[in-house]
Amino acid sequence: MTGSLLARLLRRSSPQQSRFICQRSISQSAAERTKETVSVEPPVLPAFDYVPPPYSGPSGDEILAKRKEYLSPSIMHFYKSPLNVVEGKRQYLFDENGRRYLDGFGGIATVGCGHCHPDVVEAIIEQTKKLQHSTVLYLNHAVADFAEALASKLPGDLKVVFFTNSGTEANELAMMIARLYTGCHDIISVRNSYHGNASGTMGATAQSIWKFNVVQSGVHHAVNPDPYRGLFGSDGPKYAKDVQDIINFGTSGNVAAFISEAIQGVGGIVELAPGYLSAAYDSVRKAGGLCIADEVQSGFARTGSNFWGFEAHGVQPDIVTMAKGIGNGIPLGAVVTTPEIAKVLTRRSYFNTFGGNPVCTAAGLAVLKVIEKEKLQENAFVVGSHLKERLKALKDKYEVIGDVRGQGFMLGVELVTDRELKTPAKEETLHVMDQMKDLGVLIGKGGYYGNVFRITPPLCFTKEDADFLVDAMDYTLSRM
């Protein structure tokens, strides 16, 4: 029986069966290894030479009860039975029973170069023993040293660093700088983007279905240049015309800024269509605006081919914002801009008590050194490319996978119940995530419809880890 016939027959099967479409491929793939392997035994975690000490703290159930009583009712957790993680080492997490999980998501949430990296931990401890203070009132070399090292990683005249405590603060500050510099109020952001959780950034965040957006005056949301779901496929300049239309018809003709991620993270690892950013930047600059690159997720070597995500688009932003991986889990963010633009804040007194304090900047400097010493950008490129290839081979095997995309260690797998209609497979996404957790792999999810796996591991992820992750996904999909 041919693959396509099988596919058609399965499509005609009962509603219960067709809800979980994961039949063998209808097309022939180069990656025969993945395609032809039908996993009988569950895959086994790669060996790792560490056993955590016994945990004697409260159980997951007790913590959950406390969370429900004392923490915000808006916070969520992954998994039907949420995980109580008590320790982390490099690319692994351990639960209350000492069970080890491969962390395929924490690279974005916190740890660029691995959980509790000894060099970063040591830098934090040493600086804490010496001094923790505010960033601004006195001199301290840790703050200046990291600013210098960070500036050296950015192209052109992007040499002045403002430190913050988070990505939200960094984007709030970047937008404020742009408004002060240009004397304009209007900001253009891209639909399906995520830029933070304070009022200005929630205005720029254009994800209404996810409740992340709070309407703010003067913020315009441009059509998302999404090659998979967008109207114009991979034609970036066509999407960018919407930016020009917004400027022409939605503003006075001048704007303060355009803000965009290079690869949308929370939005489901959406790579912007080629040619979009440069065309959008052109329009914005002609309207007197500044271009802000939000590198909170795609920065710090994650995309493998470049240190910053925007570099793959051949553009030079006026302001770059960053957080997350910058401090390997320590609260730290930054805005980097040119001396000329930075000068605008001398008209105001911008004061941030803890943004870039000595302890956090000591951690930041250690992170940069680890990325270089352990060649983590190269690792993200090599292992990330291998991981993507294997995921693409899974797409040939299971029709429920509609798209595989991303760069380096910022990868997305979108699940659909119908490839042509691109119907989001939300339940299947949750099911696979839960099953993979039971096999010992943690991945994230996101996207407008919540049907995209986000695979964003720490940068020290190995080829064996990548194979295990894909084998676990394969095993799970084969049993749906």
Nearest partner of 90 among 52, 146, 129, judged by Cα: 52
The values of phi and psi at residue 16, to 5°, are -60, -45
- Give the contacts of 227 (CB within 8 A, at least 6 positions apart): 233, 234, 270, 271, 273, 405
| Shortest spacing between CB 100 and ligand PMP, in angstroms | 26
Report the distance separating Cα 363 and Cα 120, nearest Å.
5
**According to the binding rule CB under 6 A, does residue 445 interact with ligand PMP?**
no
Candidates 127, 168, 207, 303: give the one binding ligand PMP (CB under 6 A).
168
At 146, which helix (H) or strand (E)? helix 141-151
**According to the binding rule CB under 6 A, does residue 127 interact with ligand PMP?**
no
Classify residue 194 as left (phi > 0), alpha (psi -120 to 50) or beta.
beta
Q: What is the CA radius of gyration of the chain?
A: 23
Residue 34 or 201: the one with the smaller Cβ distance to ligand PMP is: 201
Report the distance separating Cα 470 and Cα 141, nearest Å.
45
Show the CA angle centred on residue 422, arms to residues 419 and 424, nearest 5°.
115
| Shortest spacing between CB 261 and ligand PMP, in angstroms | 5
What is the number of helices (H) and of strands (E) in the chain? Answer: 16, 18
**According to the binding rule CB under 6 A, does residue 171 interact with ligand PMP?**
yes
**According to the binding rule CB under 6 A, does residue 403 interact with ligand PMP?**
no
Residue 261 or 414: the one with the smaller Cβ distance to ligand PMP is: 261
Residue 94 or 307: the one with the smaller Cβ distance to ligand PMP is: 307
Nearest partner of 61 among 26, 17, 15, 96, judged by Cα: 96
Stretch that binds ligand PMP, among 131-139, 164-172, 232-240, 243-251 (CB under 6 A): 164-172
Candidates 34, 91, 135, 166: give the one binding ligand PMP (CB under 6 A).
166
| Shortest spacing between CB 449 and ligand PMP, in angstroms | 18
Which 250-309 positions form the footprint of ligand PMP (CB under 6 A)?
Answer: 261, 265-266, 294, 296-297
**According to the binding rule CB under 6 A, does residue 196 interact with ligand PMP?**
yes
| Shortest spacing between CB 360 and ligand PMP, in angstroms | 13
Residue 196 or 402: the one with the smaller Cβ distance to ligand PMP is: 196
Q: Which residues bind ligand PMP (CB under 6 A)?
A: 166-168, 171, 194-197, 261, 265-266, 294, 296-297, 323
